[in-house]
Amino acid sequence: MSATPALSAGETPGLRILFLAPQPFFEVRGTPLAVLAMVRALVAAGHHVELLTLAQGAEVDVPGLDHRRSLRLPVGHVRPGASLAKLVLDVPFMAQAAWRMLAGRFDVVHAVEEAAHLAAPLARVLGLPLVVDVDSSIPDQLRESGFARRGPLPWAAAALERHALRHAAAVITVCTSLTESVRARAPGAAVFQIEDPPLVDATAPAADEVAGLRAALPLDARPVVLYSGNFEEYQGVDLLVDAAALVPEAQFVFMGGQPGEIEREGARAQAAGAADRCVFVGSRPPGELPRFLALADLVASPRRRGVNTPFKVYTYLASGRPLLATRIVSHTQVLDDTNAWLVEATADALASGIRAALHDPREAARRAEQGRALVDREYSPAR
């Protein structure tokens, strides 16, 4: 989908867009990052964007964005994926969304994940064009999370999803597998595949900044393997911790996770005898990511399962660092053996892949360059 050109004097004003994102905003994780990129692009294109999110999350400065939050409820931190807390918070969120749809005089509603499914019936009644932004399939999330594998909830979610997809003015997906899934469920939908843009560019941080980070962590001269992202079970962080115990010649930096998750994985590293080589730095703002990437000799995505490509893959590729990933659909729809090191989703296979990449720096550099060229060609912000 091409961007609307920026407005100049005398041109017709841009669209009034109600952007519904039932997510903590802002947090450094997939969907909030994608939302941030999208609203920045829409505002830069001259549109008026009113963004409604959950109450949780840090403030973020996007000049020209009208950001509103739904009612805060004492349900604890909202984790990625389906949960009871998310279900409870969706109630006041959608109540406010409905009020804004009725009163806000918008030209279009752009809605992410379950907000699109829940808003679709009212949008249809009001004659408001709806853009359905598919970062993942909600019925699949419910089944895979264990929150509601069967029963009325996944059935209702699937029915609402089909209705939203079939009556949408446009559907945006982030990867091939989701595009194919949407086309199977709604053959007549106008589908636009827009991959997540990398969080970094080719500009390297200063050498003294990287050296300062190495000293602060602290790390010695051995190679560094970096993981960044959340610590949900499907991400395979525990597999990478177990792999660390098998690769004593490397150090491992884990960027992300909540305090309890970090404590759990730290204890795992301790039990495996790798605690002195596993550094858990917690969640960091996106601005710190370039220094961590520059520090890394290898970046890793040890995900166990999934079909949507992780946001981090595009950032990893853009960084120019060699990439190790598991051989699952999430990765293989973008990666292959020419631009990454692909292995099975086991600790032993991850360890073998790490050793292979670190012990053949020339081949690792060649694959990394192929990965960066792929991003420049297909997945850059400009593209």
0.85 exceeded by the pTM? no
Beta strand 298-301 pairing with 323-326: parallel
pLDDT, position 1: 40
* pLDDT band with cut points at 50, 70 and 90 for residue 8: very low
Q: Residue 382 above 80 pLDDT?
A: no
Measured in whole angstroms, how far is the alpha carbon of residue 221 from the centre of its chain? 31
Amino acid at 24: P
Domains annotated on the chain, with CATH: 16-193 (3.40.50.2000), 207-379 (3.40.50.2000)
The model's pLDDT over 40-76, given as tens digits with 9 standing for 90+, comes to: 989 999 999 999 999 998 898 899 999 999 999 998 8
pLDDT digits (tens, 9 = 90+) for 257-287: 989 999 999 999 999 999 999 999 998 888 8
Q: How do residues 304-341 score in pLDDT, each as one tens digit?
A: 998 889 889 999 999 999 999 999 999 999 999 999 99
132-151 pLDDT, tens digit per residue, is: 999 888 777 776 666 666 67
List the helix and strand counts (H, then E) for the chain. Answer: 14, 13
- Cα-based torsion angle of the residue sequence 238, 197, 195, 133 in order, rounded to the nearest 10 degrees: 90
Q: Which of 24-38, 57-71, 95-109, 274-288 has the lowest mean pLDDT?
A: 24-38
Token pair 């560094």 in the structure block, residue: 224
Other C-beta atoms closer than 10 Å to the C-beta of 273 total 11
Percent of the chain with pLDDT over 90: 71
